[in-house]
């Protein structure tokens, strides 16, 4: 349901992890265009400041905080700041992630395995745990976890990244069941191959011009954040099924 001025996220607050570039930034821009107040985090302050400038240039409302989602103290500081700035969170997009080495398991370094799982999976656990406290008290919320094709079918040389994304799909289902009675929803989205720095790192030989831009895949994220998806929870979506033209 849209507000009187037609904006689908009017009055809503969205926290988007990894909102400083790539898919997370495109989601933040799309939410701001639809009247949402957005809070973005990432590790690099300069990228966050630049992304926030782009959102403001559109007339959007944005705040940011540098945070590593895998660090408990960062996540506590982050969610306290969001609460101070906007009072609550209605929409959480768990998007931050790293690729890790494209090595077979037999050669996969243990420190990389632990780092990828800590950021891609434990990070979602930490942020979700804090944000759920706000969502449960207001009996409203939509959690959108970013998965991957290799989080549904494992492939050679995707190591900890694939394992983390299978974890994301499972965690989404667990959370969806646990918080249904509070009116909170949790769904997973596989963006599909998208023109970002992570994709270029994974496929250095690929022509990025053959891929959709992050802006083209935002429709499913708008749907899941808005009242249009009321009652939809515990499901896995593919952003490619919702492709639209670039701006």
Ligand X SMILES: NC(=O)c1ccc[n+]([C@@H]2O[C@H](COP(=O)([O-])OP(=O)(O)OC[C@H]3O[C@@H](n4cnc5c(N)ncnc54)[C@H](OP(=O)(O)O)[C@@H]3O)[C@@H](O)[C@H]2O)c1
Contact between 233 and ligand X per CB under 6 A: no
Dihedrals phi, psi of 11, to nearest 5 degrees: 80, 0
Contact string (CB under 6 A) for ligand X, positions 101-120, x = contact: ------------------x-
Q: Report the sign of the C-alpha dihedral through residues 75, 122, 191, 194, in that order.
A: positive
Which CB sits closer to ligand X, 147 or 226? 147
For the purposes of burial, counting CB atoms within 10 Å of the CB of 106, is it exposed (0-12), middle (13-18) or buried (19 or more)?
A: exposed
The long-range contacts involving 204-210, CB below 8 angstroms and separated by at least 24 positions, are none
Neighbouring C-beta atoms of residue 68, cutoff 10 Å: 18
Size of the site for ligand X (CB under 6 A): 31
Residue 211 DSSP one-character state? S
Site string for ligand X, 148-187 (x = CB under 6 A): x---------------------------------------
Using CB under 6 A as the binding rule, whether residue 191 contacts ligand X is answered as yes
- Work out which of 79, 187, 194, 233 binds ligand X, going by CB under 6 A: 194
Per annotation, catalytic residue among 31, 86, 161, 223: 161
> Nearest to residue 55, comparing CAs of 22, 29, 24, 85?
29
Among 128, 187, 196, 226, binds ligand X (CB under 6 A): 196
Q: Which listed residue (140, 198, 232, 242) binds ligand X by CB under 6 A?
A: 198
- Tokens matching residue 101: 């080495």
Q: How far apart are CA 194 and CA 87, in angstroms?
A: 33
Q: Which range in 80-88, 135-143, 152-160, 195-203 contacts ligand X by CB under 6 A?
A: 195-203
The reply to whether 86 belongs to the active site is no
Helix (H) or strand (E) holding 169: helix 159-179
Task: List residues near ligand X by CB under 6 A.
Answer: 17-18, 20-24, 41-44, 47, 67-70, 95-98, 119, 123, 146, 148, 191, 193-194, 196-199
Q: Catalytic residues, which ones?
A: 161
């Amino acid at each position: 349901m849209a507000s009187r001025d037609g904006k689908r996220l009017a009055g809503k607050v969205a926290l988007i992890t990894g909102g400083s570039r790539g898919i997370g930034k495109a989601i933040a821009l799309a939410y701001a265009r639809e009247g949402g107040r957005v809070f973005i985090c990432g590790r690099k302050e300069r990228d966050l400041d630049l992304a926030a400038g782009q959102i403001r240039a559109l007339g959007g409302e944005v705040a940011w905080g540098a945070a590593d989602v895998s660090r408990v103290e960062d996540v506590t500081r982050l969610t306290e700041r969001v609460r101070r700035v906007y009072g609550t969170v209605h929409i959480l997009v768990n998007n931050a992630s790293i690729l890790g080495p494209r090595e077979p398991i037999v050669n996969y370094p243990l420190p990389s395995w632990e780092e990828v799982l800590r950021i891609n999976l434990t990070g979602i656990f930490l942020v979700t745990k804090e944000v759920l406290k706000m969502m449960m008290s207001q009996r409203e919320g939509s959690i959108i976890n970013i998965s991957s094709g290799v989080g549904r079918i494992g492939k050679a040389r995707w190591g900890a990244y694939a394992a983390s994304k299978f974890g994301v799909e499972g965690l989404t289902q667990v959370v969806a069941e646990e918080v249904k009675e509070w009116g909170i929803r949790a769904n997973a989205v596989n963006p599909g191959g998208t023109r970002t720095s992570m994709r270029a790192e994974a496929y250095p030989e690929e022509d990025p011009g053959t891929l959709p831009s992050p802006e083209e895949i935002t429709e499913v994220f708008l749907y899941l954040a808005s009242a249009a998806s009321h009652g939809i929870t515990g499901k896995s979506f593919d952003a490619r099924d919702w492709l639209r033209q670039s701006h």
